[in-house]
Structure 1
Amino acid sequence: MSFGFFRKAPRALRPFPASARVFPAAGEGAGSAGEPRREEEGGGKRGRQRRRRRHFRRVTERRVRGGSKMAAPEERELTAEQTEKLLQFQDLTGIESMDQCRHTLEQHNWNIEAAVQDRLNEQEGVPSVFNPPPSRPLQVNTADHRIYSYVVSRPQPRGLLGWGYYFMMLPFRFTYYTLLDIFRFALRFIRPDPRSRVTDPVGDIISFIHMFEEKYGRIHPVFYQGTYSQALNDAKRELRFLLVYLHGDDHQDTDEFCRNTLCVPEVITLINTRMLFWACSTNKPEGYRVSQALRENTYPFLAVIMLKDRRMTVVGRLEGLIQADDLINQLIFIMDANQTYLVSERLEREERNQTQVLRQQQDEAYLASLRADQEKERKKKEERERKKKKEEEVQQQKLAEERRRQTLQEEKERKSECLPPEPHPDDPESVKIIFKLPNDSRVERRFHFTQSLTVIHDFLFSLKESPEKFQIEANFPRRVLPCLPTEEWPNPPTLQEAGLSHTEVLFVQDLTDD
């Protein structure tokens, strides 16, 4: 009895993700020693996938119906897009429990790449780094994909001597691998696999690159110096093929592949010009985590990943010791077979960009028109407010002028009422004064010698024809009579003190404008 579950399961029995599966070839094991086999997915697998999707949808519908005993109160129905993501995540990770798959995806906001990246950390109890809700959810194509797989088998024993040696060593190999698996299984309970805890993924990549250059030299394809998730994002953003190489340090074919295949100038030129190249050792936590996601069968292992139907998909798997010329042919075949998807995606992106630019231009034109309309409306509003303010000022001025005139008229009436009576013409102590007004009119009146010059001012002020502000001037000698109190004349003099005779002519000078 073999403890096959302690090491990698045989290819025919091991489940692979839908987007990264090696398809069994008809008559496996047949053919000459070392002859590579090309295997493509048959129609049976696609039928099984469709049946799985239909079965999952029926189960989901039953679980979320009202009154169902299976549905939890907080569960809600999944959309078609989330259902496809759930099935794809299960295929990529190999997790059997749908509830666990759904829980993991919900923690990562339905980001498949991030969920796969953190799955092993969750198993070891390391807190996962959940992604924030994306501004735009990733759309997943619901169509089934045909994955190209190319496997190079190791040479089979030939002749009686070869088969005899094979059967002679079989018990020893069986015992060795069985004991090794038991030891590894027991060691997991004592000390968890340190590779399951990814603490420095970039450090793992840099360390592997240094190790590779020390062992195989500096002539090699350009390594992507970043995490697996970063490489996926860059390949998706740049619409380029991503070639993933998982380095098995302990595998017997690794050294020969690195020296005679991967570091060949023709291979380097092809990879550097047409692909992004990400590589890591499976002995490193980052490489081990990617290995758990891609589930390779043997080493050396290469996977070609690209954006297909708006999701990153494994479109080709190359396993085994492949020669340089054969590797070039297989990579070119995979890229040529899937180039149309990248071309289509580029066209869609260009169309989206053009649509976005057009929409942006329309938005800018609309905003410019809106700003122009707002500016016009603002100017109109300012003009209306200015006119309204001016009208209010004019109205206030009119009211003030009316109040001033009313006050002036009342003051004239008061002054007129307070004037002393005019002396009799025969009164010897009276003086006759003739006033020449600014409008060339004349006014005559008699005043008493003993009266103050203020009386003359009040008399003129009470006249309708007199200006609001004025001064009284005498002609011989020419002088201004101090009719109102000033600092020089606090008490205006009388007519006699001012030197006015029995008959005088005085001039009224208008001071209103001054």
Structure 2
Amino acid sequence: MVLVAILTACVSLVRNILQAFFYFIIPRPAIADPQANRIRDSRLTAQFIEKFEQKYGRTHPDFFQGSYSQALERAKNDLRFAMIILQADEHDNTKKFNRTLQATTYPFVAVIVLATPHGNTGTGPRMTVVDRIEGSLSPEILIARFTILLSRYGPGLQRFRNERAERDAAREIREQQDNAYLASLEADREKERKARELEDAKKLASERAKKEAEERMLLLANKEKWRRWALTQLPNEPNQNETDVASLSFRLLNGERVVRRFRADDTVEMVYIFVDTYHIRNETSSSADVQPPKDYEHNFDFLLVSFPRTVHQADKFKTIKNESGLWPSANLIVESLTEDDE
């Protein structure tokens, strides 16, 4: 712990420098069981930190809590220095670290950083031991060693950081371009979808309008066919010698005035039929072979109104004589039930 204590004493003097040496690693021997290894490392590291703080205080560098390989991988990913601290202990099972780092004098610190090994220009950068600090040294010497390391390898780390930032920026630009392309593609798809929906809506509206027009034409044709048939069912006007006759005067929708005589036992519906078929009374379509249209129920699109205002409904059972306001005579106004008069 002597070297770590010296480093701790330097924290207030070289805090900016020590921030670059992010990971201080106290290696532990590996255990076959990975879970047991993690539990053991966590426990021993906590014990180490607790004993260290009891003896030297809470002002000290951060100690990495994890395995040797994890610490190196983290330092590589974060582009930081890693310090491996070894102490002479005959009972410590860390001989492989001693051999790997070539430790001969203790306490021993190996400084490892991502760098291109000297003389290996054809290979890429890798985690490399760039300095070995052996034995107890004064804070001034440690500061000098750290300063040299930072001046020598700091620019390389910064270059790696810049290259990573450039790669990240380029990747972000590509992602933004890809996202913009996908957004544009989605916008085009949405535009095409809306265009298809609009086209389908227009087609549907056109088909609906065509169907409605066909239905209107069929309705008009059925109406006229029914009127021609109804005209054949309309009794002839009574002659001047007949009695029990009502004289009805009509003002038609076109302003024309018509007077027509009806028998007392004619129904009110017959009066409606007369008005409804008046425009075809001169057509030669009253032959006996005229039949009403199938699956059609005729509705009169007008009302017969007398004064004071009384609406006479088209009743196929009520006779004229029994309809108050029609017998024996009446002045009737034809009122349309539709917006456009036919």
Same fold (TM over 0.5): yes
Tell me the equivalent position of 1:177.
none
> Deviation at 1:392?
2.8
Give the secondary-structure state (helix, strand or coil) at the position aligned to 1:318: strand
Give the secondary-structure state (helix, strand or coil) at the position aligned to 2:112: strand
Tell me the equivalent position of 1:427.
242
In 2: Cα distance, 1:379 partner to 1:454 partner: 54
AA paired with 1:349?
R
- 1:20-419 correspondence runs (5 A): 120-121=30-31, 124=32, 126=33, 128=34, 199-215=39-55, 217-218=56-57, 221-227=60-66, 228-249=68-89, 283=92, 294=101, 296-308=103-115, 309-419=124-234
In 2: Cα distance, 1:391 partner to 1:118 partner: 83
Q: Are residues 461 and 299 of structure 1, via their aligned partners in 2, closer, same or farther at CA, if it must alter by over 3 Å?
A: same
Q: Are residues 493 and 292 of structure 1, via their aligned partners in 2, closer, same or farther at CA, if it must alter by over 3 Å?
A: farther
Aligned-residue sequence identity (percent) comes to: 30
In 2: Cα distance, 1:427 partner to 1:504 partner: 18
TM-score between the two structures when normalised by the length of structure 2: 0.68
Q: Quick check: 2:114–2:157 contact (8 Å CA) kept in 1?
A: yes
Give the secondary-structure state (helix, strand or coil) at the position aligned to 2:304: strand
Tell me the equivalent position of 1:494.
320
**1:191-238 deviation line (CA, Å, top 9, x unaligned):** xxxxx95533122222122233444x2287413242244533443343
Give the gaps of 5 or more residues in structure 1.
1-116, 130-195, 251-281
In 1: Cα distance, 2:194 partner to 2:258 partner: 57
TM-score between the two structures when normalised by the length of structure 1: 0.48
In 2: Cα distance, 1:496 partner to 1:338 partner: 120
Tell me the equivalent position of 1:482.
312
**1:92-111 deviation line (CA, Å, top 9, x unaligned):** xxxxxxxxxxxxxxxxxxxx
> Deviation at 1:471?
2.1
Q: Are residues 456 and 225 of structure 1, via their aligned partners in 2, closer, same or farther at CA, if it must alter by over 3 Å?
A: same
In 2: Cα distance, 1:118 partner to 1:436 partner: 117
Tell me the equivalent position of 1:74.
none
AA paired with 1:226?
Q
Q: Quick check: 2:268–2:319 contact (8 Å CA) kept in 1?
A: yes
> Deviation at 1:448?
1.6
In 1: Cα distance, 2:144 partner to 2:156 partner: 20
AA paired with 1:314?
V
Q: Quick check: 1:453–1:495 contact (8 Å CA) kept in 2?
A: no
Q: Quick check: 1:481–1:498 contact (8 Å CA) kept in 2?
A: no
Give the secondary-structure state (helix, strand or coil) at the position aligned to 1:306: strand
Say yes or no: does 1:472 pair with 2:279: no
Q: How many correspondences in the alignment?
A: 288
**1:9-37 deviation line (CA, Å, top 9, x unaligned):** xxxxxxxxxxxxxxxxxxxxxxxxxxxxx
Q: Quick check: 1:303–1:314 contact (8 Å CA) kept in 2?
A: yes
Give the secondary-structure state (helix, strand or coil) at the position aligned to 2:229: helix
In 1: Cα distance, 2:41 partner to 2:201 partner: 69
> Deviation at 1:513?
4.0
Q: Are residues 408 and 321 of structure 1, via their aligned partners in 2, closer, same or farther at CA, if it must alter by over 3 Å?
A: same
Q: Are residues 293 and 415 of structure 1, via their aligned partners in 2, closer, same or farther at CA, if it must alter by over 3 Å?
A: farther
Q: Are residues 212 and 455 of structure 1, via their aligned partners in 2, closer, same or farther at CA, if it must alter by over 3 Å?
A: closer
Give the secondary-structure state (helix, strand or coil) at the position aligned to 1:423: coil
In 2: Cα distance, 1:198 partner to 1:394 partner: 78
AA paired with 1:510?
S
Q: Quick check: 2:106–2:135 contact (8 Å CA) kept in 1?
A: yes
AA paired with 1:389?
L
> Deviation at 1:307?
1.7
Give the gaps of 5 or more residues in structure 2.
1-26, 116-123, 282-298
In 2: Cα distance, 1:212 partner to 1:198 partner: 21
Tell me the equivalent position of 1:27.
none
In 1: Cα distance, 2:79 partner to 2:300 partner: 93
- 1:432-471 correspondence runs (5 A): 432-464=247-279, 468-471=300-303
Over the residues paired in the alignment, what is the CA RMSD in angstroms? 3.8
In 2: Cα distance, 1:197 partner to 1:439 partner: 107
